[in-house]
């Protein structure tokens, strides 16, 4: 319902399209932390958050009215950076794997070179055919 309200009712140009990724409701139901990710937004995430915060009173009232709540929770909007953190960690892992592959490849090449240097060619290999 909240994502629908944001998409259809919030007129603040800073907001644009957002994806609500999670909502955490306090035990006393006084505050709802709304995690969001801007989707194809022209504005920086912080400006989107400011727009949502500005619309928070309206959204709180609409949620209370539609759900017939006596006391709707105050909405606190937080930028969800989980996807960015996951992408960063994936990049780090990929670089570590590539570095490890390169290191093992270099070590294998060096080991093969050392193995061939220690052994003279076989007698069959050194003779020319008659």
User: Is the domain 2-80 a CATH 3.30.565.10 member?
Assistant: no
What residue ranges do the domains of the chain occupy?
2-80, 84-118
The whole-model pTM stands at 0.66
Give the angle 30-33-39 at the CA atoms, nearest 5°. 150
Closest CA to 106 of 118, 95, 117, 114: 114
Q: What pLDDT digit, counting tens, does each position of 79-122 carry?
A: 998 888 888 899 899 998 888 888 777 666 666 666 555 555 55
Tell me which residue of 32, 79, 39, 40 sits closest to 56, measured CA to CA: 32
């Amino acid at each position: 319902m909240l994502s629908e309200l944001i998409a259809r009712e919030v007129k603040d140009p800073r907001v644009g399209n957002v994806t609500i990724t999670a909502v955490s409701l306090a035990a006393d139901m006084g505050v709802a932390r709304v995690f969001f990710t801007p989707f194809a937004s022209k504005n920086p995430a912080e400006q989107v958050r400011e727009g949502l915060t500005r619309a928070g009173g309206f959204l709180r009232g609409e949620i209370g009215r539609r759900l017939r709540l006596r006391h709707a929770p105050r909405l606190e909007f937080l930028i969800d950076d989980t996807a960015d953190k996951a992408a960063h960690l994936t990049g780090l892992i990929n670089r570590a794997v590539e570095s490890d592959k390169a290191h093992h490849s270099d070590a294998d090449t060096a080991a093969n070179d050392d193995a061939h240097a220690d052994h003279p060619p076989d007698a069959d290999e050194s003779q020319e055919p008659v």
